[in-house]
Amino acid sequence: MELLRFIVRNIFRNRLRSILTIAGVTVALLSFCMLRTLVTAWYAGVNASAPDRLVTRNKVSLIYPLPVSYRNKILQVRDVAAVAHGVWYGGIYKDKKNFFAQFAVSGSEYLNLYPEFLLSNGEKLIFDKERNACIAGRKLVKRFGWRIGDVITLQGTIFPGNIELVLRGVYRGAKETTDETAFFFRYEYLNERNRAANSTFADKAGWFVVKIKDPDRSAEVSQEIDTLFQNSLAETLTETEKAFQLGFVAMTDAIVTSLKVISIVVIGIILIILANTMAMTARERSSEYAVLKTLGFRSWFLFRLIAGESLVIAIIGGIGALVLSFPAARVFQAMLEQFVPVFEVESSTLLLIAGVALFIGIAAALPPAWRSSRIPIADGLRHMG
């Protein structure tokens, strides 16, 4: 207890330097926290994947469609419980900067495959009944200020012309990590327009979502589905939803790697900041440490005194970062919502921040603590701090 009192007093002997060091550690740890959260958010779709959902797409590339007629054949495969199909629309809402994910799907049967999307039976019934009905996530509705019954016009980019949709439902996520920024409308409505325009996209689906009865048989079911369409004009590739999502993450692998590298660099910067402060502090107090040795205090006491000071500064900075992490995450969520739908600080990230704070507190103190505890008394007394 007496040692802790010495440590606290020593920290605030040079208040400005200590406050600036603590602020630097807090900012650096907060930056590290946001970078790690961004990496986690990048994998949100992967982590939210269900083991009993498969995705069937064109074997060549996702940009090539598949005949809708494949649905009935997939349903005949053993252990397949349900099948739904969807298409990426990619329209523009008022302005190009208003980006959000837009899917034309095969009615409520598609949404039923995602129990994490909470929607009332009444909203699903209306969605199936009205061909121009649409459903949007809670965050997306809040972003644009939509209300039930509003007409939403999307300008086609992949598909010609504009479509007018009526908002009939708002879904919310079963968990905080569920994406609440997606937008769904009826595939039949889009397909009617494609048929009228004699489009090559008529009666074509972008992918099929397949729900299976036994997740342990996902590999066998995937192979059976792909065998059905072997040597056809549109061969398929069926994989687990997690593998499908990882494919998208792999496209931006360079970005994810860069974020991880930057987060490690931030740790190095924190270490340098704190190590520099502790080195200056130990150098200034060399004569004081020599006097303590003269009075009979052992080297181990000096080691603990310096290391404790560094550790307390790091812990205070870490606590500051932990306190600021949640408001900072909300700011980042608002800034990156259209690119990163889920930006939540996980408990594992908070534990990592605490661990990093302890690590840099100890590591930064080791060189000056070791040097001060080993310096001869005569050399310490001669030092002019």
Kindly report, residue by residue over 97-129, the tens digit of the pLDDT: 888 889 999 999 999 999 999 999 999 999 999
Per-residue DSSP letters for 116-133?
A: TEE--HHHHHHHHH-TTE
Report the chain's mean pLDDT, rounded to a whole number.
84
Domain ranges of the chain: 2-44+253-382, 60-234
Kindly report, residue by residue over 318-369, the tens digit of the pLDDT: 999 999 998 888 888 777 766 666 777 888 888 988 998 888 888 888 887 7
Kindly report, residue by residue over 356-369, the tens digit of the pLDDT: 888 888 888 888 77
Residue 65: the pLDDT is 92
- Cβ neighbour number for residue 313 with a 10 Å cutoff: 27
Kindly report, residue by residue over 132-165, the tens digit of the pLDDT: 999 999 999 999 999 999 999 999 888 888 899 9
Residue 13: the pLDDT is 72
Burial 231-244 (b: 16+ CB within 10 A, else e): eeeeebbbbbbbbb
Residue 49: the pLDDT is 76
The span from the CA of 56 to the CA of 211, in Å, is 11
Kindly report, residue by residue over 205-264, the tens digit of the pLDDT: 999 999 999 999 999 999 999 999 998 889 999 999 888 887 766 666 677 778 778 888
CA atoms within 13 A on the CB side of 149: 0
- Cβ neighbour number for residue 260 with a 10 Å cutoff: 13
The residue to which tokens 């980042």 are assigned:
332
Compute the average pLDDT of residues 71-82: 93
Q: Which residue would you say has higher pLDDT here, 191 or 254?
A: 191
Under DSSP, is residue 49 helix (H, G, I), strand (E, B) or coil? coil
Residue 141: the pLDDT is 94
The span from the CA of 68 to the CA of 86, in Å, is 10
The residue to which tokens 């009666």 are assigned:
203
In percent, the amount of the chain with pLDDT more than 90 equals 38
In percent, the amount of the chain with pLDDT more than 70 equals 85
The span from the CA of 276 to the CA of 304, in Å, is 18
